[in-house]
A = this chain, B = another copy of it.
């Protein structure tokens, strides 16, 4: 079994400690920044909720904006066809059937 790395400066147990420390430090720093952004996102949603907005709907909109429009339209069409076939559609089209 080979443990480790291809470094030229091996240390304790054949492990290049500096390289290992650098990897860990970088991952920890990036993770901290990532978690800070996650907290910021939660804050915006909390503020939105506090302002009376429907957070679930906002999440849906953000998801829709990420999708390709024509792809989404096709998905909606398939879903409506299936729902119609199952008699579930009055939900969406009460007026024009």
Contact = CB atoms under 8 A, between A and B. Distances in A.
Interface of A: 1-7, 11-15, 17, 19-21, 23-24, 26-28, 30-31, 33-34, 37-38, 40-41, 44-45, 47-48, 51-54, 56-58, 60-62, 64-65, 69, 72-79, 81-86, 88, 91-92, 96
A6 B50 CA distance: 9
Given A56-B75, A79-B60, A91-B69, A86 B23 contact: no
Given A30-B41, A85-B13, A5 B69 contact: no
**For A14, A51, A53, A75, which residue has the most chain B Cβ atoms within 10 angstroms?**
A53
4 interchain residue pairs of minimum CB distance: A15-B85, A12-B85, A5-B52, A34-B37
5 contacts: A3-B54, A4-B52, A7-B52, A33-B37, A64-B83
